[in-house]
Amino acid sequence: MKKKIYVGLGLILVAIIAYAAYSAFFSRRVSPTQTTEYSHEGLDIKVTYCRPMKKGREIFGDEASGALLPHGKYWRLGANESTEISFSEDVLFAGKPLSAGTYRMYAVPGEKMWQVVLNSELGTWGSETPDHSRDVVGVEVPVTSAPTETEQFTINLGSIGPATTLDLVWDNTLVSVPITIQ
């Protein structure tokens, strides 16, 4: 009887070790989750997104050239789940009024301009095309060259006096969306 108990416990131990090894080596996220926050005079902004790496790939460009993110196509602004942004106060998002709340954020990259859109559909996997009827605000913002090449996609919230900018940086590309309190 004791032998059967030891064999059973041994099998359970082997299963636990196998599960732990699988979790450690195979289910690790390649694009880690990041939270970026900004606070100023009662305005709190929080962005949650996943950060993919360049890994020698062409990031932005024409679809025919094999770019990872072709011009004119939907991008979730990160990897894995949809990127979400929260505002504690009503703001002007690139000059357009936006109510306090949490939104799904995505973009349509272009060569000279990007469309950055906030959508009320939350909790979705990022590769799912958004329900455009739930778009709350969309803005066109210019593309500029980043001062240095950025290997891992980064979203920064930077301060410019009483305003902030939402900076989207990857490869040699920088897109800045101005945000001010209403």
pLDDT of residue 29: 57
pLDDT at 161 over 90: no
- For the chain, the structural domain boundaries read 1-30, 31-181
pTM: 0.82
**Could you give the 3-state DSSP secondary structure of residue 134?**
helix
Tell me the average pLDDT across 41-67. 95
Tell me the average pLDDT across 87-116. 97
What is the residue-wise DSSP string for 8-65?
HHHHHHHHHHHHHHHHHHHS--SS-EEEEEEEETTEEEEEEEE--B-TT---EE-GGG
> pLDDT tens across 15-35, in order?
787 666 665 555 455 799 999
Give the span between the Cα atoms of 84 and 35, in whole angstroms. 10
pLDDT above 90 covers a percentage of the chain that reads 73
Element (H, E) at 160: strand 135-160
